[in-house]
Structure 1
Amino acid sequence: MSQNFKMIAKTLFGLEEVLEKELRQLGAMNIKRGVRMVEFTGDQGFMYKANMMLRTAIRILKPIYSFRARNEVDLYDGIYQYDWSKHLTHHDTIAVHGTIASQYFNHSQYVALKTKDAIVDQIRRNTGQRPDVDTKHPDLRISVHINDQNVDVSLDTSGDPLYKRGYRNMTNEAPINEVLAAGIILLSNWDQRSTFIDPMCGSGTIAIEAAMIGANIAPNINRPEFGFEKWPDYDNQLFENIQESCLKKMREFDGKIIARDADGYTVEKAIENVKNANLSDFITVEKGDFFRDHQSASAFILFNPPYDERISVDVEEFYKEIGDTLKQRYAGSTAWMITGNMGALKFVGLRPSRKIQLYNGKIEARLVKYEMYKGTKKIHKLVDKEEEE
């Protein structure tokens, strides 16, 4: 029976609680939430499953050892003393990623370089040959995290970040990260029955993630490769069993998901991405102008409008028109919107019932919820009260 070991799932700021819930539902043990990460334990099969099924994890790290260092000599010696032959040979390629929060070290790339030097020197001393560096497709990715004097060394089980699902070959100018898209859908508590509309769909990412959630499709089931597949202890049969188990967890989904955009070329890109994700049966992609189209029935709306960061808009006019459109055309609907322009929200002219702090890359963002009541909010509350009585 495979032994359990500690793992760390990295995520975006604001999605830690969502990721913790995902891990709990998957069956992880000893779960401990941190900032931009959740720690947990599981066995080798769970490591495979976590990489395949977690929607809000960016990568899964497997810590292998820790030590203390105050300078580059300490760092080099600490890395050199570990037996790296357990994980690679001189034929393999490596890549090292460093993150630091320390008064003793101030350059993450230098930390990565010194780590690489120590590993390469040890392998060369033992074999006479050195492994090469490959930053794009290495056989082994190593993560070094320094917090003050504490150095934690981990193996990156994922390889490429887990937001690279494999379906998005075509994007618009400012595509939303797949992990963030899945995260805001899970934060919104969409009931998976209401008609789901992204009226500014861009490359279709939000609609695609919604369809995978609705049908319980593992987000990385179509991914070409994970980092652990190149490891010496990789168990292909176990991996295939986990993959088959994930496929069996898919469920029927007869909900309606609509992705719209006013730009015809953007719609074509979204259609292509939906097709790549094998979700054409679940998602309707159509050309439509959010500010002109009429939405007669109540719906669940979630979108990522431009906010003058990577796509230029007149913020005041654009966000005022968003608010006016929601009031006039989407009565009875619930609308969620994520924006990286804090000042833009005041132009919407609606009071959000929820406001959640997130980050879209390095940009601080807000996910806001608007309840678009039919009639006035006061009347709506009176109706609710009468129904309760």
Structure 2
Amino acid sequence: MTKTFPMIAKTLPGLEPVLEQELTALGANNIQIGRRMVSYEGDLKMLYKSNLYLRTALKVLRPIYEFDAEDIDILYTTLLNFDWSQWLTADMTFAVDAVVYSSTFKHSRYVVYKTKDAIVDYFREQTGGTKRPSVKLSNPQLIFHLHIAEQHVTLCLDSSGESLHKRGYRMEQDRAPINEVLAAGILLKAGWHGQCDLMDPFCGSGTFLVEAALIATGTPPGIYRESYPFERWPDFDSELCSEVYNDDSSEHSFDYHIYGSDLSPQAIAKAKR
């Protein structure tokens, strides 16, 4: 039997219903809309599809531990007693980020600092002080995400790393480009599915044009990204991931045209590239 687990897809405010529709189309289970997020359940295949196919998700998180903490000392002690060896070894690198909405925990940086301490101290205890994983801010092997709502703490694995709005297709951008997730969300809310011509008369570096083309052809928005952090998880299934990546069943032809224009020749050149 395929193992399922909870997941959280983060998004921009106002795009939660669109993201819910996307997850329904992907086949996710137990979908619940929250604030700037949609929670759901699925298996590893759903996790891989979420990163590759969701147009309005910023990140896909996998909750692995939940508890309540009344103060920073309880937070540290509880995290120290967590079995980090399920996911991490003493030879790996990791990073921690945190989102905090709490009257108890007022400084997210201090929460991150104490979480890092708990992880390092756990491995020091396990190895007699001889080995410990290293904190690495740039391209770590594992990324842990801590969400605190008042006293409730949710520890997650970050499967996406860089925000999913960074599709991987952009060579360069014009000044103040629209976020790709927002552009895709606006197009989907407007009912765009490639059923007619589309024109953006102020196209800038072409975000609406490219996102519209991806939607119109059924091309997964994450297909151009080089890698994802979930590829370094201990339960990563390379064959299953390749199956998801190479599945072109959602792609189809587009029988109309997408037009863009702009007063700036430089913006047009960037859009073409």
TM score, norm. by length of structure 1: 0.68
Partner of 1:153: 155
Query: Aligned pair 1:207/2:215, yes or no?
Result: no
Secondary structure at the counterpart of residue 117 of structure 1 = helix
Whole-Å separation in 2 of the counterparts to 1:223 and 1:240: 14
TM-score, length-scaled by structure 2: 0.97
Q: Matches of 1:2 and 1:113 in 2, distance apart? A: 36
* Counterpart Cα distance in 2 of 1:267 and 1:220: 24
Any conservation in 2 of the 1:30–1:40 contact (CA below 8 Å)?
yes
Residue 4 of structure 2 aligns with which residue? 4
* 3-state SS of 1:248 partner: coil
Write out the 4+ residue segments of structure 1 that deviate beyond 6 Å after TM superposition.
Answer: none
**What corresponds to 1:108 in structure 2?**
108
Native 8 Å contact 2:99 2:147 kept in 1: yes
Question: Is the alpha carbon distance of 1:101 and 1:254 closer, same or farther for their aligned partners in structure 2, counting shifts above 3 Å?
Answer: same
Aligned to 1:263: 264
Q: Give the deviation of 1:244 after TM superposition.
A: 1.8
Structure 1 counterpart SS, 2:119: helix
**How far apart are 1:149 and its partner, in Å?**
0.8
CA offset at residue 133 of structure 1? 1.4
> Distance between the aligned counterparts of 2:138 and 2:270, measured in 1?
26
SS in 1 for 2:242: helix
1:1-389 maps to which residues of 2 (within 5 A)?
Answer: 1-127=1-127, 128-190=130-192, 192-245=194-247, 247-272=248-273
Q: Which amino acid aligns with 2:249?
A: K
SS of the aligned residue for 2:246 comes to helix
1 or 2 for the larger relative contact order (CA 8 Å, sep ≥6)? 2
* 1:169 positional shift: 2.3
Higher alpha-carbon deviation: 82-91 or 15-24: 82-91
What secondary structure does 1:266 align onto?
Answer: helix
Q: CA deviation at 1:9?
A: 0.5
Write the distance in 2 (CA, Å) between the matches of 1:112 and 1:169: 33
**1: CA distance between counterparts of 2:226 and 2:168?**
7
Structure 1 residue 29: Cα displacement? 0.4
Shift of residue 259 of structure 1?
1.7
1:290-345 superposed Cα distances (whole Å, 9 cap, x missing partner): xxxxxxxxxxxxxxxxxxxxxxxxxxxxxxxxxxxxxxxxxxxxxxxxxxxxxxxx
Deviations 1:150-172 (CA, angstroms, capped at 9, x unpaired): 11111111121111110112011
Q: Which runs of 5+ in 1 are unaligned?
A: 273-389
Larger Rg: 1 or 2? 1
Structure 2 CA distance for aligned equivalents of residues 255 and 34 of structure 1: 36
| 1:45 to partner: Cα distance | 0.8
CA distance in 1, matches of 2:206, 2:78: 46
Provide the rounded CA distance (Å) in 2 between the counterparts of 1:108 and 1:132: 20
Paired with 2:2 and 2:70, the residues of 1 have a C-alpha distance of 36
Greater Cα shift, 78-87 or 125-134? 125-134
**2:198–2:257: 8 Å Cα contact kept in structure 1?**
yes
- Equivalent residues of 1:160, 1:227 under 8 A apart: no
Shift of 1:191: 5.0
Aligned residue number for residue 296 of structure 1: none
1:185-205 residue CA offsets vs partner (Å, 9 max, x unmatched): 001112522221111111111
Q: What residue ranges of structure 2 are gaps of 5+ in the alignment? A: none
Aligned-residue sequence identity (percent) comes to: 46
